[in-house]
Chains A and B, each alone.
Chain A
Amino acid sequence: MKLKQYLALCLLIFLLVACGGRDSGDGGVVLNVGWAGSPDTLNLGVAVLTEAYTIAELVYESMYQLNLDGTYTLEVADTVLLSDDGLVYTYKIRNGITFHDGEPLTARDVAFSYRLYQEQEGYPFLSIYTYYFDTIEAPDDSTLVLTLTEPIPNIESQLLFLYILPEHIWSEVDPVEYENTEMIGSGPFKMKEYRQNQFVHLEAVKNHHLQSPKIDGVIFRTYDNQDALVQALRTGQVDMITEMPNTAVATLRNDSNIEVVVGPPLAPSVTDIIFNQVLPENCPPDDGVCTGHPALLDRTVRLALSHATDKQQIIDVVLLGLGAPGLTLIPDSLGVFYNDSLVDYAYDPALANRLLDEAGYLDTNGDGVREMPDGSRPLTLRMNWPSDSTSAPRMAELLNSMWGAVGVRTELQALDPDALTAICCPSFDFDVILWGWGSDPDPGFLLSVMLTDEIPTGNSETGYSNPAYDALYRQQAVELDKNKRIELIWEMQRIVFEDVVYIIPYYAQETQAYRVDRFTGWRTDGDKVALEDPSSLLVIEPVK
């Protein structure tokens, strides 16, 4: 073996590589975005991750677009007419819209897409949006008539994610197996190159019918490691990052080239502390195991635990303060639907102790743990969370000590997400779970989670059952007057808040950051933070 030659070769390679210049980015003005995720698939019929929807929002158009302030505007249609019975929507599709391959977008494409979403059994997640669809007709190229089975108040949010696909492509392929890497749409950006789990390279559509981007393209790069993502922004490898650990906020704020943006997320999400309160008579006959601790059926216990929970402490530790104390399952990022008139239960361990004492939950044997009033069993609760959560273990530790201080013991156990689903719902084989929801811009779904009817389906995680609440839900679902509906929804929130169905520790804020020396014009003035949204990407321009 000629050692010297090997060494020389290694050195040579290293030098050549190290000296090789950085990329010669010749594709015009391209924005580099860093994120920790990647679309699971570009076929939206089977996609789950928000990243897929972020890309779709740029490449496709739908009937409506959601603005940062929570309002909707028409996108592919000029006008909409609603029949008096609230069942028939007639949309006039704009003229001159073309797909990226040059074919025109007509009402037929819209009708094709809606039918596909409605009928395709292999599209498991979109059927909920087409639930009220009766018939979809396209009498001519510019008219779409949508008939519903019953009047609903939130047609905009139903149509928001039903992106319009080109019929001439999708009618030729198997809509489930199709990977859709070409991603022909009609949005302001078109797909240039896609490497799963590596990057998505989009190119600007220069003569878009609504608004053309000022930049020439955008590249979303995937960083598996959050620290690497932050480092990429710091070293200028990317111009903007859509997410980051909250711990990085302070350091990035110190960097004069970087601006950190914090605010409510565009896609509402909520973290919840779930109490198993299913009543024996509501236990699902097929799947139910229903082993919840009996004390959790008592509102006083749940209320006392609520008073024993120092939400600010949790927010400080888990989110570094970048969040707001939560009230109910309807987060503040749902805007007008969020009932901000409710006053949260104060953190007051003394009050919590008194409540438990008065209700007869006393520590009779002096082991520091209270027992049931009849002395049958101690207040020892199993607490589980999904093992892939990074914040839940910290929250569990905090709850363990906070609740321990009022004589309620918790046994902490992380569980594989599958195993957690198995004990959760509809089997109700748990006491307390730390989990969460992601939501549509409409509160409808989150409200349905607490319905009695949802106990056997597995959507109800608490087993909560309240006929008054159920009645209000049915009422709001058909209330077409927006303000009246909001009133009903506020009332529903008040009920579940007073019944202490959940403890909502916090509503987390979105944290994003961009380099000020690269692009300017970012929309940071809206109610919500979403730098990757078209609202920003269409208006930013390079720093001169």
Chain B
Amino acid sequence: MIADGVAAHALTDISFTLREGEVLGVVGESGCGKTTLMLSLLRLLPSSGRITSGEVLFMGRDLLSLSEAEMAEVRWKNIAMIFQGAMNALNPVHTIGRQIGEAIIRHNYVQDKKLVDNRVAELLEMVGINPDRRRQYPHQYSGGMRQRAMIAMALACNPQIVIADEPTTALDVMIQAQILELLATLQEKLGLAVLFVTHDLGVVAEMCDSVLVMYGGVTAEYADVDTIFNAPQHPYTQELLRAFPDLSRPTGKLVSIPGYPPRLTALPPGCRFAPRCPHVMERCHQERPPLHTPSPTHLASCHLLET
């Protein structure tokens, strides 16, 4: 019975396209609305969240105008999701096999019980888990295996799109690499479109076709991966790249961006990056910059681009 709090515009003016087989990286510091964006796509925002405007077009249909039942059909069958922190995303009291099978049964991917079991085994094998372990519980898996199981689960119904929400956080470096490689292999093999949420630019450079850089709930910059890495237009992207250790330039100094990203409940009136921007101007504090298009496939929101 808590009375309404203050509505915070977690996301504003976000727009991107994901083509078949494309890997789109979504980058930004923690708290910039990446996960909220992913959940919004599947309409999974918690009770305190609401989508106020916009559309999510999937194969010509606006997902936001679907009924809850129609939406449930789309989930997992067309768009599946790999959550960050597989430990919490898996139900501790059910076996891995059951949790994967559940999705298969739900979307009638295969009918027969026996076939479901086979499919589960096949999926686990595909991600490199001994299929016999499908009768075990999440707590009996190691962290990396849980993440593999999550991936297997996401692929259960052969979705067109997989949303991978920081799939490697909380894993140690060796395992991270394995998981990423597995993802890359499967993406290629199955021709998946992947929305890849991360704050690791190295991963982005390696895996993604295009990149969406988010800051404070808005699009900072959106372009193909080469443009982002070679000709970033937004000061935030530039700063991010400077803060990213480039192994090819071992002498380069590591720079961290001063300050913290804004709290969504206390957003600055003008450009959201203004308080931390090295190129900040007077108008940045008053006026929200519109999205500029330096080139047809390149979007960036910064007053500097005006002219």
A and B touch in the complex (CB under 8 A): no
Please list the residues of chain B having a beta carbon within 8 angstroms of any beta carbon in chain A.
none
